[in-house]
Structure 1
Amino acid sequence: MSGTFGGRPGRQGKLSQWLRGRRPKEDAAGDGGREALLLAAAGAGLPLAPAAHPAPGYRCSCDRVGCPTPARHPVSFAWQTQSTTDHAQIERWARHQPQANFITATGMVHDVLDVPLEAGREALERLLGAGVEVGPVAESDDGRMLFFTLTRGTPEDEDEWWPCELDCHPETMDEHPGLRWHCRGSYVLVPPARLPGDDQRVRWVRGPEHPLPDPLSLLEALTDACARHGVEADHPGAAWPLRH
């Protein structure tokens, strides 16, 4: 792909200051704020399902010994069919499971382009500086940035879609270093979410009120930023679990 991204003189510096200094939206209002943020995500069309949450000692709330992805996976094996935007159901889950994180299933309404944090911040600044429409964006304190986009995982021609697993195979990572494309068969944590560790979270940088863009409009800036940051294909944070 080819193209340029730029901005008027002085604008990039202001954007850098805004991105570094802006306090992302958080669950500061307690349970009520958490529920409101979850309902806002559902209202934007993101299907949600309950997920595990951190337990003391860097452990997961699930009963799996040595859980490899603590607090980052759904609580049900049926998460794909369970995921919903129904406000009443999400309210019941949120109130009955006050510590639970939530995941959003990708490939139904939206996909997620998942990149290393520093590369994502650089790409976001370039995209905003160039006037590109950027949708919801989340930051994770484990070093990832999540760009929410329209889905390309359910095209009319079934031969044109690919499962999320393909994006983490070594032969595909040279083209998109450090990038995970979450589409059909995958999920990500949706803010507000808590991770193991002291005050480790997933939070919105740009909330779900922003319309979902076509992923191809963001892809060049994201892959270029990943390449410039020298991200290795086997980056330990690059692969979110596909199933639990």
Structure 2
Amino acid sequence: MSAEFGRRSGGQSRQGRISQWLRGRRTEPETDGGGREALLLAAAATGLPLAPAAYPSGYRCSCDRVGCPTPARHPVSFAWQTQSTTDRAQIERWARHQPQANFITATGMVHDVLDVPLEAGREALERLIASGIEVGPVAESGDGRMLFFTLTRGTPEDEDEWWPCELDCHPETMDEHPGLRWHCRGSYVLVPPARLPDDLAVWWVRGPEHPLPDPLSLLEILTDECSRYAGEKPDHATAAWPLRG
């Protein structure tokens, strides 16, 4: 099942056919329950554990928290790590009983997510494809981020082999990582299709049918493009990856 359904209009890209393809193909969020449910089930079928999340409610978040700092971007249960599942029947129940809900996928179980600024991510994706490097599922978020889904490094057989990284990002540290964020154990991201406030959304650029790659195979090009992006965007000079001179 392909998750690449929609198409954006636009002029000729100065960077050739690959660039035009990357900027031209996207999956718009599904408005009907059946399409939304099918995309969620497709993600779960490939091993992404899901749990219900908040959604936009007018200009606010659907949760009861006054001044929610991450509206429509967080799970509804504090037990989201144990609640997350790939069970088809459970996901169908959630999707049908909570027709407006977004869904998160818990990272560090089966997969990690390398989360980068959108401009850097688009350039990196073009380079990765042009270099013949296997790229897995990729999503774009209307709030200016691109998500690269990879195999996890967070659950080794020998727990002593798990290595922390200065790129690691958890929900409570998102603002501290304006550059490259590595979502692994204890973190999550929204899984498409998802709706954000201000009529923004999260959609698949490459669907979950693509096999998950080793994160290290993507890391060099991602960090390189993020470094370029940080150099061009002075307000991101404190990005959380090592900048090279």
TM-score by length of 1: 0.84
How many angstroms apart in 2 are the aligned matches of 1:21 and 1:165?
A: 33
Letter in 1 for 2:73: R
1:21 maps to 24
2:149 maps to 148
1:13-52 aligned within 5 A: 13-22=16-25, 24-28=26-30, 30-52=32-54
Deviation at 1:107, TM superposition (A): 0.3
Deviation at 1:21, TM superposition (A): 1.8
Give unmatched runs, 5+ long, in structure 2.
1-14, 171-176, 241-245
| SS, match of residue 90 in structure 2 | helix
Give unmatched runs, 5+ long, in structure 1.
1-11, 170-175, 239-244
| SS, match of residue 203 in structure 1 | strand
CA contact 2:168–2:184 (8 Å) conserved in 1? no
1:161 maps to 162
Deviation at 1:29, TM superposition (A): 5.5
1:110 maps to 111
CA contact 1:177–1:227 (8 Å) conserved in 2? no
Deviation at 1:150, TM superposition (A): 0.3
Aligned residues with identical type, % of pairs: 84
1:101 maps to 102
1:130 maps to 131
| SS, match of residue 142 in structure 1 | coil
1:230-241 aligned within 5 A: 230=230, 232=236, 234=238
How many angstroms apart in 2 are the aligned matches of 1:66 and 1:20?
A: 34
Deviation at 1:159, TM superposition (A): 2.4
1:73-112 aligned within 5 A: 73-112=74-113
Letter in 1 for 2:52: P
CA contact 1:52–1:72 (8 Å) conserved in 2? yes
How many angstroms apart in 2 are the aligned matches of 1:92 and 1:16?
A: 39
**1:177-206, CA deviations, whole angstroms, 9 ceiling, x for partnerless residues?**
8111000000000000000002x0000000
1:172 maps to none
1:206 maps to 206
How many angstroms apart in 2 are the aligned matches of 1:128 and 1:80?
A: 33
1:227 maps to 227
How many angstroms apart in 1 are the aligned matches of 2:88 and 2:168?
A: 32
CA contact 2:54–2:72 (8 Å) conserved in 1? yes
Paired residues, what number?
Answer: 216
Letter in 1 for 2:48: L
Letter in 1 for 2:208: P
How many angstroms apart in 1 are the aligned matches of 2:163 and 2:34?
A: 38
- Following superposition, which runs of at least 4 residues in structure 1 exceed 3 angstroms of deviation? 162-166
CA contact 1:137–1:146 (8 Å) conserved in 2? yes
| SS, match of residue 203 in structure 2 | strand
| SS, match of residue 113 in structure 1 | strand
How many angstroms apart in 1 are the aligned matches of 2:82 and 2:111?
A: 16
CA contact 1:138–1:206 (8 Å) conserved in 2? yes
